[in-house]
Amino acid sequence: MLFEQIAANKRKTVFIVLGFFIFVMLVGCAIGILVYNNYLNGLIMAAVIGAIYIAIMIFSSSRVVMAMNRAQEITSKDQEPVLWDTVESMAMVAGVPMPKVYIVEDDSPNAFATGISPEKGAVAVTRGLLNKLERYELEGVIAHEVAHIRNYDIRLSTIAIALVAVVAILSDLAMRMLFWGSITGGNNNRKSNDNNNGGAQAIIYIIALVFVILAPIIATAIQFALSRNREYLADATAIELTRNPQGLADALRKIGGDTTKMKQPSAASESIYFTTPSKGEKKKKEKAGLFDSHPPISSRIERLEHM
């Protein structure tokens, strides 16, 4: 069951990522039809903007994420011996370099990992997590975060965030160009072509317009679907590392039952946390919604109990 779930989650991730890239290219084609009356121009524009934006996101330092979440680095074992030992042992079992260790001074129990590669990995936990979890529960959470690093999930989520931003940029750019063209008369050639080609061209134009308008919403839904799938994969990988499903399951129960809200959670970082930082009804759902960044805790626990 464990290795079957890991393999299934990896297959789903591949399909989602491929679908995401295809979707972005389709958005480019739609913009090409709307603005240039040539899908190839829009496709090239989407590819260029996407490549540049992804490169910028990937090579930006994880220090930015840590700063956004007010995380302070732990530089020696003497500062937090239990946390340091747990991170070190889980990294050793996972076969990755020892990640940098950070603490967020917040009473809400949570954690996250950053780093586009295992060599640049970092794990951050809240003070609430350290104070409220038993050692075996903490080990499960840390194993989950180290699993994200080993599985290159941070790089994947970074690319997903970049693609969502690219779709938003492309959609906004298209709307501005269409608006400007309608004022300056830049769409006269299109109107002439529409008259010559009849209703078929008009239908294609309308479909492309609706697609571009809805593109940012669809892209966000795809990003969250990818995020939810990677959470399941990290849970399964964590059990591969600890050989103790109960530790992670008990940690999820304890965190799910905790009502302490994070003081100032970073909205941009929500998808990388162990559980959704904003407490409330989201955690009580039995099924994940299209715009939920995490699966329901009850669903994660159920999968763990079958391992």
Q: Is 306 annotated as a binding residue?
A: no
Backbone torsions φ then ψ of 204, nearest 5 degrees: -60, -40
pLDDT digits (tens, 9 = 90+) for 189-209: 555 555 555 566 778 788 888
pLDDT band at 279 (very low <50, low <70, confident <90, very high): low
Q: What is the pLDDT of residue 169?
A: 87
Between residues 58 and 274, the one the model is more confident about = 274
C-beta of residue 126 within 8 angstroms of C-beta of residue 106:
yes
Do the domain assignments include residue 161?
yes
Beta-strand pair 100-104/71-74: antiparallel
Verify whether residue 286 is a known catalytic residue.
no
Predicted confidence (pLDDT) at residue 226 exceeds the cutoff of 60? yes
Mean predicted confidence (pLDDT) in 145-153: 91
Domain of 48?
A: 2-184+200-278+286-306
User: For residue 283, is pLDDT > 50?
Assistant: no
Looking at 88, 139, 145, 302, which residue is catalytic?
145
Over residues 13-33, the mean pLDDT reads 85
Classify residue 207: in a domain, yes or no: yes
Is 231 labeled as ligand-binding? yes
Is 27 part of a structural domain of the chain? Answer: yes
Residue 191 lies in a domain: no
Higher pLDDT, 247 or 14: 247
In a domain, 195, yes or no: no
Whether the Cβ atoms of residue 28 and residue 53 lie closer than 8 Å to each other? no
If one compares 22 and 180, the residue with the highest pLDDT of the two is 22
What total number of domains does the chain contain? Answer: 1
Backbone φ and ψ of 277, nearest 5°: -60, -30
Averaged pLDDT for residues 240-257: 94
pLDDT of residue 224: 85
Q: What is the spatial distance between Cα 50 and Cα 160, in angstroms, rounded to a whole number? A: 11
Q: Helices marked H in 60-152 — which ranges? A: 63-68, 81-94, 127-132, 135-150
Residues 113-139: tens digit of each pLDDT: 988 888 989 999 999 999 999 999 999
Q: How confident is the model at residue 255 (pLDDT cuts 50, 70, 90)?
A: very high
CA–CA dist 146, 237 (Å, integer): 9
Would residue 266 count as lying in a domain? yes
pLDDT for 162 beyond 50: yes
**154 assigned to some structural domain:** yes
User: Hey, what are 270's tokens?
Assistant: 């929500």
The pLDDT assigned to 261 comes to 87
Residue 194 lies in a domain: no
Give 280 or 47, the one with higher predicted confidence: 47
